[in-house]
């Protein structure tokens, strides 16, 4: 009788352990499979398929809430989906995705501030900051969102110290976005934004078309430089397709650049 009682008491613990193990195995498959998603050239296919993968990550996190790799993938997934597929036509919905991505990245950081972050913290710190920057950018009319801007700079500078080439020179892009989004009266500087975005187009980010798109959309508009704006977007449209891990982002950058060019007269 005592053995039966002990078995019944341990059963929930065993079930939790099995769920966590299964979640970690599946999370490993997701982690290894994501590059295949980002290598797709069919934008509509990924737009329709990716939400199921994001939901799967959330289901797995319910069983293994502290899985750092899964938290980072979820942060990147929600943030990326908002930017690539929602922001242009549904900014409010994109904001929800950015907020969710930021929350997952913050969980992966587990309370570590930029000052205390080490090299192993670069992925969650980057996605936490990138999601925050995108959220602020689409909510510039909300004081509570703009109030978060000062948090971008120390995080981006720490990323520049730890790994400046991470995610195709992402830290350079973050610094460029920071100076482009921030109002001039409060430290915004289109010239500094341009300097950082120019740096994002070298080395690891040279062929990442999304960097050029963000440069045009943020820094060229902030500087009110229509020639730079048009040159950058045309360079995206004229770029030859390249197979590999950036194919999806490159294809989306082309679509977004075409739409943004059509709005030139509204922006300048």
| Total-model pTM | 0.90
Residue 38 lies in a domain: no
* pLDDT score at 7: 47
* pLDDT score at 47: 97
Same domain, 135 and 170: no
Give the structural domain span for 222. 164-268
Same domain, 143 and 170: no
DSSP state letters, the chain: -HHHHHHHHHHHHHHHHHHHHHHHHHHHHHHHHHHHHHT---HHHHHHHHHHHHHHHHHHHHH-TT-HHHHHHHHHHHHHHIIIIITTT-HHHHHHHHHHHHHHHHHHHTT--GGG--GGGHHHHHHHHHHHHHHHHTTTT-HHHHTTGGGHHHHHHHHHHH-TTHHHHHHHHHHHHHHHHS-GGGT--HHHHHHHHHHHTSGGGTT-HHHHHHIIIIIIHHTT-HHHHHHHHHHHHHSPP--STTHHHHHHHHHHHHHHHTTHHHH-
Same domain, 229 and 145: no
Same domain, 99 and 176: no
Q: How many domains does the chain have?
A: 2
Q: For the chain, which residues score pLDDT lower than 50? A: 4, 6-8
Q: What is the CATH number of the domain that holds 130?
A: 1.25.40.920
Residue 34 lies in a domain: no
pLDDT digits (tens, 9 = 90+) for 74-133: 999 999 999 999 999 999 999 999 999 999 999 999 999 999 999 999 999 999 999 999
Same domain, 265 and 183: yes
Residue 20 lies in a domain: no
């Amino acid at each position: 009788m005592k053995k039966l009682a002990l078995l019944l008491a341990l059963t929930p613990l065993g079930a939790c352990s099995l769920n966590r193990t299964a979640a970690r195995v599946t999370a490993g498959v997701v982690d290894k499979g994501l590059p295949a998603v980002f290598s797709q050239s069919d934008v509509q296919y990924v737009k329709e398929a990716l939400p199921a993968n994001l939901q799967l990550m959330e289901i797995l996190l319910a069983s293994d809430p502290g899985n750092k790799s899964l938290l980072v993938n979820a942060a990147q997934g929600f943030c990326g989906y908002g930017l690539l597929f929602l922001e242009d036509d549904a900014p409010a919905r994109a904001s929800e995705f950015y907020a969710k991505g930021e929350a997952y990245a913050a969980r992966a950081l587990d309370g570590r501030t930029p000052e205390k972050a080490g090299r192993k913290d670069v992925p969650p710190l980057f996605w936490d900051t990138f999601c925050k920057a995108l959220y602020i950018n689409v909510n510039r009319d909300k004081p509570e969102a703009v109030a978060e801007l000062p948090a971008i700079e120390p995080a981006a500078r720490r990323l520049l110290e730890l790994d400046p080439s991470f995610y195709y020179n992402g830290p350079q892009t973050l610094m460029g976005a920071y100076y482009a989004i921030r109002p001039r009266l409060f430290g915004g500087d289109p010239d500094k934004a341009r300097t950082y975005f120019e740096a994002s187009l070298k080395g690891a980010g040279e062929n990442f078309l999304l960097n050029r798109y963000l440069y045009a959309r943020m820094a060229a508009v902030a500087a009110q430089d229509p020639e730079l704006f048009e040159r950058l977007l045309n360079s995206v449209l004229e770029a030859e397709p390249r197979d590999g891990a950036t194919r999806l982002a490159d294809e989306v950058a082309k679509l977004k650049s075409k739409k943004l060019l059509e709005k030139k007269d509204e922006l300048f």
